[in-house]
Structure 1
Amino acid sequence: MTNSPFKLNYTEDLNLDPLDHNQAFIPLGEAVYQKLKTAIVQGHLIPGQLLSENKIAEKLAVSRTPVREAIRVLGSKNLITFLPGRKVIVSIPTVQDIKEVFEIRMLLETEALRRITNQHTKIIEQMDESVQMGEAYRKQGDLVKMGEMNTRFHLTIISALENQRVQRFIDSLHETISRLRSYSLTAEWKIDREKEHKEIVTLVKKGFTEEAVSVLKQHLTTSQENLLTLFAQK
């Protein structure tokens, strides 16, 4: 076992807030699905955690039917795993999952970063703003907002490719990437990783593209290694 601050927990205790029944009307099954998906992606329901239909229904004050519908959809997106004995758990990322996602990110983000010059003022401004807001949220200990800014920073880089098919592909991986980012930030939030983002922006502004790419590669490599350490024991 490692000394990772992130531990798998096979308890059925659910970190779920009640469902907001005052929101604009959407089918109840969809509302439950969105609630559970967000809880999984943001790390409130953690890998390996048991999901009981009865307990979820009780927490959200709904019947088991919409919960069952939501679980079926979550299963189709590999966010949960069905085990023998009709048990359901939040899916646990494998070493292969982590390596594949980061291989994709490394290929796309480094190529995209190479296309950003100091003439891309809007993109650079968006990256800069994401860094500043991410640092502010880190100091507040707000991992959810910090994760959102982290996601925004990296998606802004990818936008430089100006490729709609690539964007749709990244969108299809959104939940998986967001989950891994959430777990990584849980382990790293006390470490100022925003310094690396800021360094990337500074180097791009100066026209030092390959130097910026080198920092990005190390940034992604470190995140991958931390996640592999986190889940290799599982």
Structure 2
Amino acid sequence: MAQIDLSDPAEQRIERLPLHEAILIRLRDMIIEGHLPPGARLNEGQIGLQLGVSRTPLREAIKYLASEGLVELVPSRGAVVKSFGAKEVHDMLEVIRMLEQQAGALACRLADDRGIARIRALHDEMLAHYARRDRLAYYKVNQAIHTGIVALADNVALSEVHARLQTRLKRVRFIGHEGAEKWASAVAEHEEMIAALESRDPDRLAEILGRHLSLAWERVRDDIPGAPEAD
């Protein structure tokens, strides 16, 4: 069974934030960063002790994570961090790629200047996190950029499907930035994205997003069980 890393309890305790939201964010971050690895059972007693919270709000947070697809509730085992196989990950990334290409092309045609400026502000914030090598903060803004570009397409159905898949792949997308070379390449692709969006070039933005999401699979495939070896 996969082991849960709950080292340094002082760093894990919940303080000041609204309790349910704080627990949810903390557990989600622990899944993203791998402290709660795929296949790990969420031991309510152990986690509650480490976070300094009671079981009732903890159970509510776990149920919410299950609704997001990050956790699954398994009979006789309880809550377990969701583990995705290679084909599942590849298929979801392929759908996200197609959705973002369509959204990017629409965004170039439909977005107003203020909407594009918001993406630029997120991009600059992401670069600041990158300069500090703050991976988790970088990752969260990075994902907000992808969500924001999709939102500029002004298509609720597209946004809803994209959000569901993006949530399920949080841990997978995070490991795509492991290593200086992979991380630098992802940042360079985002630089191209923002330039294409600001110039309102739908074909260019669709091409960059497609390449970025295809490379996302290449960056994570070696860490996914069952993935074929790269050529």
TM-score by length of 2: 0.77
Asked if structure 2 preserves the Cα contact closer than 8 Å seen for 1:112 and 1:160, the reply is yes
Identity of aligned residues (%): 23
- What corresponds to 1:3 in structure 2? none
- What corresponds to 1:184 in structure 2? 176
Separation in structure 2 between the aligned mates of residue 184 and residue 49 of structure 1, nearest angstrom: 21
Asked if structure 1 preserves the Cα contact closer than 8 Å seen for 2:5 and 2:35, the reply is no
- Residue by residue, what CA displacement relative to the aligned partner does 1:16-47 show, whole Å, maximum 9, x if unpaired? 61122x434x5x6x754443234223544232
Matched ranges for 1:136-151 at <5 A: 136-151=128-143
- What corresponds to 1:92 in structure 2? 83
Q: What amino acid maps onto 1:19 in structure 2?
A: I
Q: What amino acid maps onto 1:102 in structure 2?
A: L
Question: Given the superposition, is the C-alpha separation of residues 197 and 118 from structure 1 closer, same or farther in structure 2, using an over 3 Å criterion?
Answer: farther
Asked if structure 2 preserves the Cα contact closer than 8 Å seen for 1:126 and 1:153, the reply is no
- What corresponds to 2:26 in structure 1? 35
RMSD: 3.2
Please state if 1:162 is matched with 2:154: yes
What is the aligned counterpart of 2:223 among 223, 230, 234? 230
- What corresponds to 1:105 in structure 2? 96
Asked if structure 2 preserves the Cα contact closer than 8 Å seen for 1:118 and 1:205, the reply is no
Separation in structure 2 between the aligned mates of residue 170 and residue 164 of structure 1, nearest angstrom: 10
**Structure 1 spans left out of the alignment, 5+ residues:** 1-8
Please state if 1:201 is matched with 2:217: no
What is the aligned counterpart of 1:23 among 11, 17, 21? 17
What is the aligned counterpart of 1:127 among 96, 119, 122? 119
Please state if 1:175 is matched with 2:170: no
- What corresponds to 2:211 in structure 1? 218
Separation in structure 1 between the aligned mates of residue 199 and residue 4 of structure 2, nearest angstrom: 52
CA shift, 1:224, in A, is 1.5
Q: What amino acid maps onto 1:191 in structure 2?
A: A
Separation in structure 2 between the aligned mates of residue 51 and residue 119 of structure 1, nearest angstrom: 42
Q: What amino acid maps onto 1:23 in structure 2?
A: L
CA shift, 1:221, in A, is 0.3
SS in 2 for 1:138: helix
Q: What amino acid maps onto 1:220 in structure 2?
A: L
Aligned length: 222
**Structure 2 spans left out of the alignment, 5+ residues:** none
Q: What amino acid maps onto 1:96 in structure 2?
A: K
What is the aligned counterpart of 1:60 among 27, 51, 62? 51
Separation in structure 2 between the aligned mates of residue 226 and residue 113 of structure 1, nearest angstrom: 22
Moved more, 55-64 or 146-155: 55-64
SS in 1 for 2:178: helix
Asked if structure 2 preserves the Cα contact closer than 8 Å seen for 1:74 and 1:80, the reply is yes
Question: Given the superposition, is the C-alpha separation of residues 46 and 203 from structure 1 closer, same or farther in structure 2, using an over 3 Å criterion?
Answer: same
CA shift, 1:220, in A, is 0.7
Question: Given the superposition, is the C-alpha separation of residues 212 and 66 from structure 1 closer, same or farther in structure 2, using an over 3 Å criterion?
Answer: closer
Question: Which structure shows the bigger proportion of residues in helix conformation?
Answer: 2
Separation in structure 1 between the aligned mates of residue 220 and residue 202 of structure 2, nearest angstrom: 27
- What corresponds to 2:36 in structure 1? 45
